[in-house]
Amino acid sequence: MKREFDINKLVRESVRELKPYSSARDEYVSDGSEMVFLDANENPFNNGVNRYPDPQQRNLKALLAEQRGVAMENLLLGNGSDEVLDLIFRAFCEPKTDNIITSPPTYGMYKVLAGVNDVKNKEVLLTSDFEPNVEGILKAVDQNTKLLFLCSPNNPTGNCFSEKRIKHLLDSFEGLVVVDEAYIDFSEAESWLAQLQNYPNLIVTQTLSKAYGLAGIRLGICCASPGIISVLNKIKPPYNVNELTQQRALRHVLNPKMVHEEVRSILKERNELTKELLQFNFVLKIYPTDANFVLVKVDDADKRYQQLLDKGIVVRNRSTQPLCENTLRLTVGTQEENKKLIEALRSLN
Ligand SMILES: *Cc1c(COP(=O)(O)O)cnc(C)c1O
C-alpha cells in the first residue's frame, strides 16, 4: 500500500541532471487559432504531413486517457511498446551497474533490451504453473535492482498472473514493477491501471499492436505516476510518434465498438480452435489462455513445426524457452485461417 516513494532516487544521475531538448513545437502550443508557423524550418506547402507532429500527441492521449480512466499526465506514448520499454531502461538503469529481474518463459524483448543497455538481467523462472516465483524474485533483489518485468497475460504461456502475487511484489520490491499488458484486451482480468493510485512504483504498458489491430503503425502506451511519466518525457525523442500514426490511431481508437467486435470474434475462434486441437493425439496439452494465442505441448515440436511450415503455415516454436519443451504457440487467425491450420494438422502423421 502507500508508502514513502521518491522516484528521483531511482532515476539515473545523468537523466536527473539532463536538460531536455526543446523542439519548436514544444515551445509554442497552438490554441487552435490561425497562426503563421515560421519556427521549425518546415516546407510551408500543405500536403497533410509537412508539419512536425505534436510531440505530446495531445489529441490521441486525451482519448486514450478517457477510455482508460486515467489522466493525460499518466500517459506516455511511444513507437510501439518496445520503445516505451527501452525508455524505461534508459531512464532508470545505469549501464554495467544496475540490474533487472525477468521471469522466463516470457517476452524476449526484456532480455534483448537489457543486453542493448548493458544492464544485467537476473532470470527467476516462473513456477511450474507459470506463476511468478515471489520468494525467488525477492531473494534475487539487491541494491542495484531497478526494474522487475511481469507480463500478464504472459507471452508465450497465455495466462494472467495471480493478483495476490503481483500485489506482494509491488508491496515488497522497492524498484519499479513493469506490468506488460499487451494482451489485456483479450482477458477478463482487470487491468492493473486501476491500481496506479495505490502503487507509486507501478508502470503498466499496453499496445495497439494486438487487440486493436494496428501492429503496423507502432503505437505503445506507458501508464504510470506523473512523476515517472515526466522522467520518461525528458529523454524521449521529441517526435517519436509520427503524424500518420497519430491520425490512424485516433481514428481507430474513436471506434471502440469495432475493436470490441473483433476481440469477441477472436475469442470465439480461440475457443473453437482449442476444442478442435483436443482431437489430435500428438497434442499432449493445451494450456489455458487469456490471450489471442494458444500454447500447446506436442510430441515433437521441431517435427510438427516443420510439417506445418511445409504446408505453408507458420507458427512459433517456443521449445527453447525454459518450461516450454516441445511447445508451439499458435496465434488465433480468422475462421478460414484456423480451419486451414486444423486441416493441416489432420493430415499429419
Ligand atoms: C506483442 C507484444 C508487445 C507489443 O510490442 P509493440 O512494440 O507495441 O508492438 C509487447 N509486449 C508483449 C509481451 C508482446 O507480446
87 Cα: distance to centroid of ligand 1 (angstroms): 15
pLDDT number for residue 328: 98
Residues 6+ apart with CB under 8 A from 55: 23, 25, 26, 238, 239, 240
209 Cα: distance to centroid of ligand 1 (angstroms): 7
Residues 6+ apart with CB under 8 A from 158: 183, 287, 288, 289, 290, 291, 293, 294, 295
Predicted confidence (pLDDT) at residue 220 exceeds the cutoff of 90: yes
208 Cα: distance to centroid of ligand 1 (angstroms): 9
281 Cα: distance to centroid of ligand 1 (angstroms): 32
What end-to-end distance do the CA atoms of the chain give, in Å?
55
Quick one: which atom of ligand 1 is closest to the CA of 220?
8
Looking at CATH, the fold of the domain delimited by 7-254 is given as Aspartate Aminotransferase; domain 2 (3.40.640)
182 Cα: distance to centroid of ligand 1 (angstroms): 6
Of 232, 280, 306, nearest to 74 by C-alpha is: 232
Of 120, 131, 227, 233, nearest to 176 by C-alpha is: 227
Lowest mean pLDDT among 27-31, 319-323, 327-331: 27-31
207 Cα: distance to centroid of ligand 1 (angstroms): 7
pLDDT number for residue 29: 72
Average pLDDT over residues 152-179: 98
pLDDT number for residue 338: 98
Judge contact between 223 and 68, C-beta under 8 A: yes
pLDDT number for residue 342: 97
Q: How confident is the model at residue 138 (pLDDT cuts 50, 70, 90)?
A: very high
Residue 145 β-bridge partners: 99
pLDDT tens for residues 26-46?
777 777 788 899 999 999 999
The SS3 of residue 242 is coil
Quick one: which atom of ligand 1 is closest to the CA of 151?
13
Rg (CA), the chain: 22
237 Cα: distance to centroid of ligand 1 (angstroms): 20
Predicted confidence (pLDDT) at residue 262 exceeds the cutoff of 90: yes
pLDDT number for residue 23: 82
Quick one: which atom of ligand 1 is closest to the CA of 83?
7
Lowest mean pLDDT among 22-36, 52-66, 171-185, 326-340: 22-36
Q: How confident is the model at residue 20 (pLDDT cuts 50, 70, 90)?
A: confident
Pocket of ligand 1 (CB under 6 A): 80-82, 107, 151, 155, 180, 182, 207, 209-210, 215, 220
pLDDT number for residue 25: 78
206 Cα: distance to centroid of ligand 1 (angstroms): 8
Mutation probe of ligand 1 site: the residue of 76, 82, 203 with most atoms within 8 A of C-beta: 82
pLDDT number for residue 63: 97
Of 131, 139, 138, 129, nearest to 103 by C-alpha is: 131
Please name the residue whose Cα sits nearest to atom 10 of ligand 1: 182
Lowest mean pLDDT among 23-32, 73-82, 100-109, 132-141: 23-32
Q: How confident is the model at residue 329 (pLDDT cuts 50, 70, 90)?
A: very high
pLDDT number for residue 26: 78
Quick one: which atom of ligand 1 is closest to the CA of 106?
13
Judge contact between 295 and 289, C-beta under 8 A: yes
Predicted confidence (pLDDT) at residue 173 exceeds the cutoff of 90: yes
291 Cα: distance to centroid of ligand 1 (angstroms): 12
Give the integer Cα–Cα distance in Å for 321 and 278.
23
CA angle 210, 336, 282 (to 5 degrees): 90
Residue 285 β-bridge partners: 297
Judge contact between 126 and 157, C-beta under 8 A: yes
Please name the residue whose Cα sits nearest to atom 5 of ligand 1: 81
Give the integer Cα–Cα distance in Å for 61 and 75.
7
Quick one: which atom of ligand 1 is closest to the CA of 207?
8
The cell numbers describing 297, all together, are 505441448
pLDDT number for residue 28: 77
Where exactly are the structural domains of the chain?
7-254, 257-346
Give the integer Cα–Cα distance in Å for 258 and 212.
9
Please name the residue whose Cα sits nearest to atom 4 of ligand 1: 81
The full DSSP string for 272-310 is: HHHHHHTT-TTEEEE---SSSEEEEEES-HHHHHHHHHH
Quick one: which atom of ligand 1 is closest to the CA of 208?
8
Q: How confident is the model at residue 2 (pLDDT cuts 50, 70, 90)?
A: low
> What DSSP designation does 330 have?
E
Of 241, 151, 254, nearest to 212 by C-alpha is: 254
The cell numbers describing 249, all together, are 490511431
Assess if CATH 3.30.70.20 describes domain 257-346.
no
In the sheet that holds 176-180, the strands lie side by side as: 75-78, 220-223, 202-207, 176-180, 145-151, 99-102, 120-123
Q: How far out from the chain centre does Cα 302 lie?
A: 28
CA angle 337, 339, 341 (to 5 degrees): 75
